[in-house]
Amino acid sequence: MLAVAGGKGGSGKTTTALGLAGALVERRRRPLVADCDLDAPNLHLRADVPRDPGADASTPTAAVHESATVPGADVLPAGDADGDDLAAALDALPESRPVILDCPAGASEAAVRPLRAADACVVVATDTREGIEDAVKTAAMARAVGTPVRVVAVTRTASVPVGLADAAAADAVPIPDAATPLEARETAAAYATFADYAEPNT
Domains of the chain, start order = 2-198 (3.40.50.300)
Q: What is the pLDDT of residue 57?
A: 60
Q: What is the pLDDT of residue 56?
A: 67
Q: How far is CA 182 from CA 2, 20, 85, 90, 164, in A?
A: 19, 9, 29, 26, 25
Beta strands in the chain (DSSP E): 2-5, 32-35, 65-66, 74-76, 99-102, 120-126, 149-155, 171-175
The answer to whether 98 and 104 have CB atoms below 8 angstroms apart is: no
The answer to whether 75 and 43 have CB atoms below 8 angstroms apart is: yes
Report d(CA 33, CA 44) in Å as an integer. 10
The answer to whether 96 and 6 have CB atoms below 8 angstroms apart is: no
Report d(CA 173, CA 57) in Å as an integer. 36
Q: What is the pLDDT of residue 58?
A: 67
Q: What is the pLDDT of residue 7?
A: 83
Dihedral-angle region of residue 142 (phi above 0 means left; psi in -120 to 50 means alpha; beta otherwise): alpha
Torsion angle of C-alpha atoms 145, 60, 124, 15, degrees rounded to 10 = 180
Q: Tens digit of pLDDT per residue, the chain (202 long)?
A: 999 999 888 899 999 999 999 999 999 999 999 999 999 999 999 999 999 998 766 678 889 999 999 999 999 999 999 999 899 999 999 999 999 999 999 888 899 999 999 999 999 999 999 999 999 999 999 999 999 999 999 999 999 999 999 999 999 999 999 999 999 999 999 999 999 988 764 4
DSSP letter, residue 56: -
DSSP letter, residue 151: E
Q: What is the pLDDT of residue 202?
A: 41
Beta bridge partners of 3: 101, 121
